[in-house]
Amino acid sequence: MVRGKRTKPGKDFKSGYAILLGRPNAGKSTLLNAMLGEEISIVTPKPQTTRNRILGIATTDDYQVIFLDTPGVVRSERGLKAFLAREIQRAMADADVIVLLVEPFGEPKPSERELIEKLKKLNRPVVLAINKVDKVKKENLLPLMELYQELHAWQAIVPVSALKKNGVEAVLAEVVKAMPTGPMYYPPDQFTDATERFIVAEMIREQVFRQTRQEIPFSSAVLVQSFKEFEGIVHIAAEIFVEREGQKGIVIGKNGEMLKRIGTAARQKIETFLGRKVFLELYAKVKKDWTRSESKMREVGYQ
Ligand code: GDP
Ligand code: MG
């Protein structure tokens, strides 16, 4: 991405919010990172690991697009899932342009059809990005594009491989095309409004998933307790909250080996991100059934 240098945008300058919607694992975080050229949203092979809203900001001389990453389409239930569903509703209402990400493996799923119906009522431009096209043959892609063509008056349908970075620029171009003219909301060199603390917590949480390989996408939260820099080293202490003793055992591992692995892998990523040396201390703690209670969710860092 070419970063803008001009601070006074002209009258044709385009700006606004764009959100990425789609089922868990569709590739939203991967696409966002590819469009921004920065790793600000965590990407994992397991669904629903992105929880909070992350703004990614793409600025050039001609536009500023403020992206919102969402945790994927979730059905309303109590506790955490209801919270996520509300967040998505709010994000949809705020967006100037919506990017719907789907996978190219067959017909749209019922939850995707439901979402498309909602989008129709919202009356906003929607770019349909058919992702992971590196995994399908061209002759299977065309009928799929025709099928989607029937479902909605899309701003555009763009085949893309977020992973191989093919078609990423085309998605961004369509988003910009549909943006209204407007001011520059953020300084041109700012690429996110997520705090360093938040990104660090996400990087640790990503390693909890990657290293433990446990299907516990809803059961861990990371809270950064302290974040201080002295003598050129960033000292970070963070707590990893899980729901049960058994999960704590998994996170700590035999002789603390798992926690050490999580820490080492996370520290390397954090050092690259911050561009400084990092000393990372991790603690695993149980907060019983925290995903089921909104007050406990606040205690582990959800506002
Ligand atoms: P999200 O849940 O929608 O944010 O999905 P992620 O961005 O976390 O991606 C989920 C998984 O799909 C990860 O393993 C990605 O590497 C993978 N993925 C994302 N985009 C592509 C793509 O274009 N091609 C392929 N083959 N895999 C992809
Ligand atoms: Mg994601």
Residue located nearest, by CA, to atom 10 of ligand 1: 25
- Strands (DSSP E) along the chain, which ranges? 14-22, 54-59, 63-69, 97-102, 126-130, 156-159, 221-230, 233-242, 277-286
For residue 179, the 8-state DSSP code is S
Residue located nearest, by CA, to atom 14 of ligand 1: 45
**pLDDT, position 47:** 39
State pTM to two decimals.
0.65
| Per-residue pLDDT tens over the stretch 16-74 | 889 888 888 899 888 988 887 754 444 544 333 444 454 577 888 888 888 876 654 44
The stretch 281-286 carries a mean pLDDT of 94
| Per-residue pLDDT tens over the stretch 137-184 | 989 999 999 999 999 999 999 999 999 999 999 999 999 999 999 888
The stretch 261-286 carries a mean pLDDT of 92
Distance 293 CA to ligand 2 centre (A): 23
Within 6 Å (CB) of ligand 1, which residues are found? 22, 24-30, 43-45, 47, 50, 72, 131-132, 134-135, 161-163
The ranges assigned to domains in the chain are 14-178, 196-299
Q: The domain 14-178: what is its CATH number? A: 3.40.50.300
**pLDDT, position 141:** 94
And the tokens for 28? 């939203």
Q: Regarding the domain with residue range 196-299, which homologous superfamily does it belong to in the CATH classification? A: K homology (KH) domain (3.30.300.20)
- Mean of pLDDT over the chain: 81
